[in-house]
Amino acid sequence: MAEPLVHITNFRMDFGDKTVVRDLSFDVHAGETFGFLGSNGSGKTTTLRALLGIYQPTGGVLHIDGKVFEPRDGARLGYLPEERGLYKKESVLDVMEYFGRLKGLSRTGAVSWSRAYLERVGLADKVATRLDKLSGGQQQKIQLGVTIMNEPELLILDEPTQGFDPVNRRLLMDIIDEQKRAGSTVIMVTHQMDEVERLCDRVILLKDGVAAAYGTVEDVQDSFGATTIRLHCTGTLPTSELYDVVSTDGRSADLAPRPGADAATILRELVTAGVAVTSFTTERTSLEEIFIRVYGDQHELAEA
């Protein structure tokens, strides 16, 4: 197998006496879309910044294409950071042309690409508009265009669809998918689990700076129990060695079968225990459900 495009081994990041990431190891292979998942503060952005040399790691190895990233390698990279940064008092076309020239495009090439992109994202009438006169979502589209206009080998996107409505989310997901088909390797940080299931080949889930799960989407689903049982019922769910109760509101419940337990056996146990089941279905466990299982307690503490 070819060497991974991104290789991270035993990465550790300390800020003073606080350890943000500890002993983190994963690879991203050329041509894949990789989902980088986790709750706020789990270490995702810190890892990306260390990979790109913005932070000096406390320990471990972080390589892009076999070596530590250097600024002169930036022409092969597209990075959409969590904090956006554009010259907001300049016109849309001037800003895009400027960044295009920085990325090695000719003036004519940068202008031509920018006009075609603006047409694609519904902003063709904004070429002469100052960026600070655009909505946040429109500025986000410009930022993404600037990120991908050099057809990067590696595309790193930190919450690319944050704040978008469903229509524009779908548009940007289509654009990201096109980048992958054109040969880009994509690392995507997102809280939108449907985006991950649609686009990503493999994922890693961080919690408190360590990997809670890592592998293909299917591998991660299988590791948490590939099937979720959804039922509507009345009566008290019995404690069982066959399943764990993921959620319940007294009228419905989601159950996670334990290894070796099948749905028919679980249904028989419920009925025998006097639970009146009015509907009983099995579904593949979604990444959103897994996210809630992994990070739910953490979110509850944050909100308390």
**pLDDT of 70-118, one tens digit each?**
887 777 889 988 776 677 889 999 999 999 998 889 999 999 999 999 9
Query: CA 45 from chain center: how many Å?
Result: 11
Chain-centroid distance, C-alpha 207: 14
Q: What is the percentage of the chain residues whose pLDDT exceeds 90?
A: 48
Structure tokens at 222: 């299988």
**pLDDT reported for residue 84:** 66
pTM: 0.80
Q: In the structure encoding, which two tokens stand for residue 18, read together?
A: 């606080």
Residues contacting 180, CB < 8 A, separation 6+: 31, 32, 33, 186, 199
Q: For 180-191, what is each residue's pLDDT tens digit?
A: 999 999 999 987
pLDDT number for residue 34? 96
165 pLDDT higher than 90: no
Does pLDDT of 120 surpass 90?
A: yes
User: d(Cα 194, Cα 291) in Å, to the nearest integer?
Assistant: 12
Task: Give the per-residue pLDDT at 226.
Answer: 67
* DSSP character at residue 125: G
At residue 297 the predicted structure's pLDDT band, cuts being 50, 70 and 90, is low
Q: Tokens 């069982």: give the residue.
A: 240
Q: How confident is residue 302, by pLDDT bands cut at 50, 70 and 90?
A: very low
**Would you state the pLDDT for residue 217?**
87
For the chain, domain boundaries: 6-221, 227-284
Q: Per CATH, which fold does 6-221 belong to?
A: Rossmann fold (3.40.50)
What is the four-CA torsion angle of 218, 219, 221, 225, rounded to 10 degrees?
130
Which pLDDT band holds residue 256 (cuts at 50, 70, 90)?
confident
